[in-house]
């Protein structure tokens, strides 16, 4: 009987030790495997101009009309929509993100309301969110060919864009701006909450950028009669399009997911960077409530998985392991005492 007890005691101690080892390894090993941006992302984000705030759009037809000066429409409802998917190549460590984005005025139908459109691709590290160190690591398409297919230009970039690192910190991060095609720091502002979820608020300011230097497209430098620009005189005047922006993002730090975003964007034509002659676009765009709730839902799934492997399972395994080890030790001690008592008992029985 004592031998059976010793075997059971050894089994209990062994199982307990295994569970304790698992409790120690899960947070350091398994969580490291789980804490990555998912490969099944399909996210639609919609940002709308804030009601009551200035929303200006240049009527492009007014630039080509034979009479009158450039016309700026006011109080224009503007919608920015982005559809983000994961494409190949993607694997355990890297993922290719594709984002198709449109900016349109919501008071006009079809193509007449479209202001800008782009398809952006970038391959990033699934933990850090940074573009991988290859050349090129992305592409940007803003034009189409005769068949209507987008024409992608290779892009080499650095800095975050669609995701923040797993375990985001309260510090500046390099952040890539698609319009300026340049990287500037995005600074930590404060701790905050989005619908009750703790987040880090970051802000980035894009300096006034000469868009002709970024992309030498016809719309980025126009020469028109002075009157068309609302200026005096009869001589043609050349205007360059400039861009500036203030970007705010609210990040869930454990997953690096952006729960809320906003941009105060300003595109304008000017004879120099420090003078606004004609506004092309000015609006404050913020994620709508449906987008925020959708982002919260996707992020909560990742948080639940992190809690399961980082907290729940280690605690459960640790408690069970400790109980089994203690039980095994106690049973082992009792079986040892039984071996000491048994021999005299057996001799007494033989004498009787």
Q: What is the pLDDT of residues 183-197, one digit of tens each?
A: 999 999 999 999 999
The confidence band for 31, taking pLDDT boundaries of 50, 70 and 90, is low
- Neighbouring residues of 244: CB distance < 8 A, sequence distance ≥ 6: 206, 207, 208, 209, 265, 266
Q: In the predicted model, what is the mean pLDDT of the chain?
A: 88
Cα atoms in the 13 Å half-sphere on the side-chain side of 326: 6
Query: Where is pLDDT greater, at 217 or 323?
Result: 217
pLDDT score of 29: 60
Nearest to 318 by CA among 94, 19, 105: 19
Q: Establish whether the linkage from the previous residue to 89 is cis, with ω within 30° of 0.
A: yes
Task: Answer with the residue of higher pLDDT: 94 or 305.
Answer: 94
User: Which has more pLDDT, 156 or 27?
Assistant: 156
CA–CA dist 76, 65 (Å, integer): 21
- Strands 114-125, 257-270: pairing is unpaired
Of 17-26, 67-76, 287-296, the least confident: 17-26
Least confident of 24-28, 117-121, 122-126, 230-234: 24-28
State in Å, rounded, how far the first CA of the chain is from the last one: 23
Alpha-carbon gap, residue 157 to 163, rounded angstroms: 15
pLDDT at 312: 72
Element (H, E) at 335: helix 313-351
What is the percentage of the chain residues whose pLDDT exceeds 90?
Answer: 64
Band of the pLDDT at 69, cuts 50, 70, 90? very high
**What pLDDT score does 32 carry?**
59
Residue range 312-336: mean pLDDT, rounded: 75
How far from 322 is each of 15, 18, 89, CA to CA, in Å?
Answer: 10, 10, 45
- Average confidence (pLDDT) over 107-129: 92
Cis before 330 (ω within 30): no
- Residue 323 has a pLDDT of 81
DSSP track, 138-173:
EEEEEEE-TTS-EEEEEE---SBSS-PPTT--SS-E
Mean local confidence (pLDDT), 104-131: 93
- The phi and psi torsions of 21 (rounded to 5 degrees) equal -65, -40
Residue 106, pLDDT score: 94
Q: Is residue 315 within 8 Å of 20, Cβ to Cβ?
A: no
Q: What percent of the chain has pLDDT over 70?
A: 87
- For residue 282, the Cα-to-chain-centroid distance in whole angstroms is 25
Tell me: pLDDT of 348 over 50: no
Q: Look at the alpha carbons of 70, 74, 76, 81 in this order and tell me if their dihedral is positive or negative.
A: positive
pLDDT at residue 343 greater than cutoff 60: no
Alpha-carbon span 155 to 28, nearest angstrom: 36
The pLDDT of residue 244 is above 70: yes
CA–CA gap between residue 243 and residue 101 (Å, rounded): 18
Residue 79: other Cβ atoms inside 10 A = 18
The pLDDT of residue 193 is 96
For residue 344, pLDDT over 70 is answered with no
Residue 100: per-residue pLDDT: 95
Residue with tokens 């929303």: 55
Q: How far apart are CA 222 and CA 26, in angstroms?
A: 61
Of 2-16, 115-129, 255-269, least confident by mean pLDDT is 2-16
What pLDDT is recorded for position 306?
A: 66
In this model, does residue 214 exceed pLDDT 70? yes
| Higher-confidence position of 314 and 45 | 45
Per-residue confidence (pLDDT) for residue 95, from 0 to 100:
96
Residue 17: is its pLDDT beyond 80?
A: no
- Whole-angstrom Cα distance, residue 322 to residue 318? 6
Say which DSSP state 274 is in: T
In this prediction, residue 36 has a pLDDT band, given cuts at 50, 70 and 90, of confident
């Amino acid at each position: 009987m004592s031998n059976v007890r010793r075997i059971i005691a050894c089994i209990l101690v062994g199982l307990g030790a295994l569970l304790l080892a698992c409790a120690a390894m899960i947070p350091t090993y398994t969580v490291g495997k789980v804490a990555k941006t998912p490969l099944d992302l399909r996210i639609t984000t919609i940002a709308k101009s804030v009601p009551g705030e200035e929303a200006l759009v240049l009527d492009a037809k007014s630039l080509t009309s034979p009479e009158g000066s450039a016309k700026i429409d006011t109080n224009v409802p503007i919608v920015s929509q982005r559809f983000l998917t994961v494409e190949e190549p993607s694997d355990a460590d890297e993922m290719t993100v594709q984002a198709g984005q449109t900016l349109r005025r919501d008071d006009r139908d079809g193509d007449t309301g479209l202001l800008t459109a782009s398809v952006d691709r970038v391959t990033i590290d699934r933990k850090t969110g940074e573009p991988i160190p290859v050349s090129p690591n992305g592409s940007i398409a803003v034009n189409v060919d005769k068949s209507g297919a987008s024409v992608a230009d290779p892009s080499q970039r650095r800095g975050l864009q669609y995701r923040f690192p797993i375990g985001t910190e309260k510090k500046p991060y390099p952040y890539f701006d698609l319009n300026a095609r340049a990287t500037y720091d995005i600074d930590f502002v404060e701790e905050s909450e989005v619908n009750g979820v703790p987040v880090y608020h970051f802000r980035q300011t894009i300096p006034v950028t000469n868009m002709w230097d970024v992309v030498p497209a016809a719309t980025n430098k126009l020469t028109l009669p002075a009157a068309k620009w609302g200026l005096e005189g009869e001589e043609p005047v050349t205007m360059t399009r400039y861009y500036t922006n203030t970007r705010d993002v609210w990040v869930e730090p454990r997953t690096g997911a952006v729960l809320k975003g906003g941009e105060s964007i300003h595109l304008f034509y000017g004879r120099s960077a420090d003078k606004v002659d004609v506004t092309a676009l000015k609006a404050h765009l913020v994620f709508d409530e449906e987008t925020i709730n959708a982002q919260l839902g996707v992020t909560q799934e990742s948080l639940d998985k992190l809690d399961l492997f980082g907290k729940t399972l280690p605690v459960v395994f640790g408690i069970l392991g400790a109980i089994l080890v203690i039980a095994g030790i106690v049973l082992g001690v009792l079986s040892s005492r039984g071996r000491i008592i048994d021999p005299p008992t057996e001799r007494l029985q033989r004498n009787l």
